[in-house]
Structure 1
Amino acid sequence: MSLLRIRNLSVDFATAGGAFRAVDGVDITVDEGDVLAIVGESGSGKSVSMLAMMGLLPWTATITADEMSFDGRDLRDLTAKQRRKVIGRDMSMIFQEPMSSLNPCFTVGFQIKEALKQHLDLSKAQRHQRAIELLDLVGIPDPERRLNAFSFQLSGGMSQRVMIAMALACKPRLLIADEPTTALDVTIQAQILDLLTDLQKETGMGLILITHDMGVVAETAQRVQVQYAGQKVEEQPVQTLFTEPHHPYTTALLAALPERATTKRLPTIPGVVPGQFDRPAGCLFSPRCQYADDTCRGVKPPVQGPELGLARCHYPLGAPVKETAR
C-alpha cells in the first residue's frame, strides 16, 4: 500500500475575474522510503498541490480529488482537529524562505519545543533534550546555546537547518521539502541536500522534493514528476527522464541546463505559462511548443502509458512512428 496516494487533485481559487485553476487533475504516489521530485516553472502548482493535501490553503481555495489518502486514511474526511494530529507529526513540511518562515518573536528552542508539546507526550525536560538532539542532528554547532537564539540572529543556512529540525521533530513518515535550497549559496545548498538525503536513508521516510533545479533532482531523487500550468505532464525514474524525456516541455527544460548547452547562448523556452484568461483549449504547452499543430491547440491531449512516461501529449517524443504520424 502506498504511503501517499492522490488521484485527480484540482485546486480552484476564487478571484475577481472568476475561478482560476491552479492545479488541474494531478496524480501523486509516494511509497515508504521513496524520493519523489516535483519540478516545473513557478506557477506550475507544485507547492499548491502539497499545501492542498495538508489543508493549509486559504478559504478562497476549492479542493477536489477522487482520492487523497495517507497510509490508507482518507484525508478528505478528516476534521480540522483530526488533521492537526497528522500534520506536523506523521506528515511535515519544510516551507520556502526559512528567514520568513520562522517567527522572529520567539526563540528557536521555543518553536521546536512547541511542535513536540503539541504532538508527543514528553515532559518539559524531555522536550528540551529532544530539541538539543534535533539541532545537533542537523549539524548546528553548540546546539544548547542556539536554542536561545532568535531567527534574525541566524544565517540563511542556519535558519534552513532549524526548519529541517522542526519538520523532523516528531519523526514523520512523509517529509515535504519545498524549495529547500532557495536563496542559499552553492556550498550551503550541497550541505542541506546531503543532510536531507542522509536523514531520509536513516529513517526510511518518504520524501517529496519540490524544486525547479534539475541539478538538484539528478543528485537526490528516485522519480521525477514534471508539472506545467497546474498539470502533470510527465513522470519517470530520474535516469530515464534525463536520457529519454517524452514530453516536449521536459525536453525543453533539460535543454536549458547550462551543462547541456551546445551554443554560446543558453536555450530558452519562448513565451510564458498561460494565466487565468489565456489558457488554450487544447494542450496548455501548445503556444510554446515547437511541435504543436492544430490538434494540439484545439484538443486536450491524452495521458500516454508508462512506457512513454505518462506524458500528457498528442505526439510524445520517442513514440513509434505509427503513433506520431500526422
Structure 2
Amino acid sequence: MALLEIRNLSVEFETVSGAFRAVDGIDISVDRGDLMAIVGESGSGKSVSMLAVMGLLPWTATITADRMEFNGHDLRTLSGRARRKIIGRDLSMIFQEPMSSLNPCFTVGYQIRETLRLHTSLDRKARQTRAIELMEQVGIPAPEKRLSAFPHQMSGGMSQRAMIAMALACEPKLLIADEPTTALDVTIQAQILELLTDLQDRTGMALILITHDMGVVAETVKRVAVQYAGQKVEEQQVEALFDDPHHPYTAALLSALPERSQDRFLPTIPGVVPGQFDRPQGCLFSPRCQFADARCRAVQPQKASAELGYALCHYPLLHGEPQGKEASA
C-alpha cells in the first residue's frame, strides 16, 4: 500500500469574481522511501495541492478528491484533533519562505522544542538535547547558541536549516519540501539539497520536492510529475523524462535549460499560465503549444498510456515528434 495516495484532487477558491480552480483532477502516489519531484511554473498548483494534503488551506478553498489517504488514514474525513496528531509528526513540510514561516516572536529553539512537546513524550531536558542534536544534524554550528536566536538574527540559509530541523524533529514518514532553496545562493542551495537527500537516505523517509528548477530535479529525485495550470500533464522516471519528454510543455521546459541550448539565445515559452478568466476551452497549454491545432483548442485531452508518461495531450511526443496528428488530420 502506498504511503500517500491521492486520486482526482481538485481545489477551488471562492473569489469576488467567482470560483477559481487552482488544482484540477490531480493524482499522486508516493511509496515509503520514495523520492519524487513536482515541477512547473508559478501558478501551476504545486504548493496548493500539497497544502491541501496538509490541511493548511484557508476557508475559501473547497477541496474534493475521490481518494486522499496517508498511511492508512483518510484525510478527507479526519477530525481536526486527529489531523493535528499526524501533521508535524508523520507528515511534515518545509515551507517556501523560512523568514515568514518561522514565528518572529519566539526563538528557534522554542519552536523546535514545541514540536517535540506536542508530538513526543520527551521531558524538558530530553527535548533540549534532541533540539541540539537536530541543529547539528542539519549542519548549524554552535547549536546551543543558535537555539537562543530569534529568526531575524539568522541568515536565510540558517533559517532554512532551522526549518528543516523542525520538520525532521519527529522523524516523519513523508517530508514535503516546497522550494527549499528559494532565495539562497548557489553554494547554500547545493548544501541544502545534499542535506535533504542524505537525511532521506539515512532515515528512509519519503520526500516530495516542489520546485521549478529542472537542474535540481535532475540531481535529486527519482520520479517527476509535471504540473501545468493546476493539472498534472506528465509523470516519468527522471532519466526517462530528460531523455524523451512526452508532453510539449515538459519538452519546452527542458529545452530552456542552458546546457541544452544550441543557440546564443535560450528558447522561451510564449504567453503565460492561464488564470481565472482566460482558461482555454480545450487543452490548457494549447495557446502556448507549437503543435496545437483546432482539436487541441476545442476538446480537453485525455491521459496517454503509461508508455507515454500519462501525458495529458492529444498528440503526445515520442522522440520529439507528435503522435497521431497525421491520422486525426
- Residue 29 (structure 2) aligns with: 29
Contact 2:315 2:323 in 1 (8 A): no
CA RMSD of aligned residues (A): 1.1
Say if 1:321 and 1:134 are closer, same or farther in 2 by CA, change over 3 A.
closer
* Deviation >6 Å, runs of 4+: 319-322
Contact 1:12 1:21 in 2 (8 A): yes
- Residue 6 (structure 1) aligns with: 6
Q: Distance in 2 between matches of 1:321 and 1:155?
A: 48
SS at match of 1:77: coil
Say if 1:322 and 1:3 are closer, same or farther in 2 by CA, change over 3 A.
closer
Q: Say if 2:224 is the partner of 1:224.
A: yes
Please tell me the residue identity of whatever aligns with 1:323: G
SS at match of 1:134: helix
Contact 1:316 1:324 in 2 (8 A): no
- Residue 278 (structure 1) aligns with: 278
Q: Distance in 1 between matches of 2:107 and 2:252?
A: 45
Q: Distance in 2 between matches of 1:144 and 1:123?
A: 18
- Residue 17 (structure 1) aligns with: 17
Please tell me the residue identity of whatever aligns with 1:20: F
- Residue 244 (structure 1) aligns with: 244
- Residue 110 (structure 1) aligns with: 110
- Residue 325 (structure 2) aligns with: 324
What percentage of aligned pairs have identical amino acids?
73
Q: Say if 2:98 is the partner of 1:98.
A: yes
- Residue 295 (structure 2) aligns with: 295
Q: CA deviation digits over 1:249-286, x for unaligned, max 9?
A: 00000000111111111110000111101101100000
Contact 1:92 1:175 in 2 (8 A): yes
Q: Distance in 1 between matches of 2:192 and 2:322?
A: 44
Q: Distance in 1 between matches of 2:322 and 2:118?
A: 58
Q: Distance in 1 between matches of 2:225 and 2:215?
A: 14
Q: How many residues align?
A: 326
Q: Where does the alignment leave 5 or more consecutive residues of structure 1 unmatched?
A: none
Q: Where does the alignment leave 5 or more consecutive residues of structure 2 unmatched?
A: none
1:145 CA displacement: 1.2
Q: Distance in 1 between matches of 2:322 and 2:160?
A: 48
- Residue 254 (structure 1) aligns with: 254
TM-score by length of 2: 0.98
SS at match of 2:281: coil
1:322 CA displacement: 7.0
Q: Distance in 1 between matches of 2:47 and 2:29?
A: 16
- Residue 205 (structure 2) aligns with: 205
Contact 2:40 2:227 in 1 (8 A): yes
Q: Say if 2:162 is the partner of 1:166.
A: no
Please tell me the residue identity of whatever aligns with 2:96: Q
Please tell me the residue identity of whatever aligns with 2:259: E
- Residue 149 (structure 2) aligns with: 149
1:324 CA displacement: 3.4
1:150 CA displacement: 0.7
1:296 CA displacement: 0.2
- Residue 123 (structure 2) aligns with: 123
1:321 CA displacement: 7.9
Contact 1:115 1:169 in 2 (8 A): yes
Q: Distance in 1 between matches of 2:244 and 2:264?
A: 24
Contact 1:233 1:312 in 2 (8 A): yes
Say if 1:322 and 1:216 are closer, same or farther in 2 by CA, change over 3 A.
closer
Say if 1:295 and 1:121 are closer, same or farther in 2 by CA, change over 3 A.
same
Contact 2:316 2:323 in 1 (8 A): no
Q: Distance in 2 between matches of 1:113 and 1:61?
A: 31
Contact 2:316 2:322 in 1 (8 A): no
Q: CA deviation digits over 1:284-320, x for unaligned, max 9?
A: 0000000000000000001001100000000000189
SS at match of 1:103: coil
Q: Distance in 2 between matches of 1:109 and 1:209?
A: 26
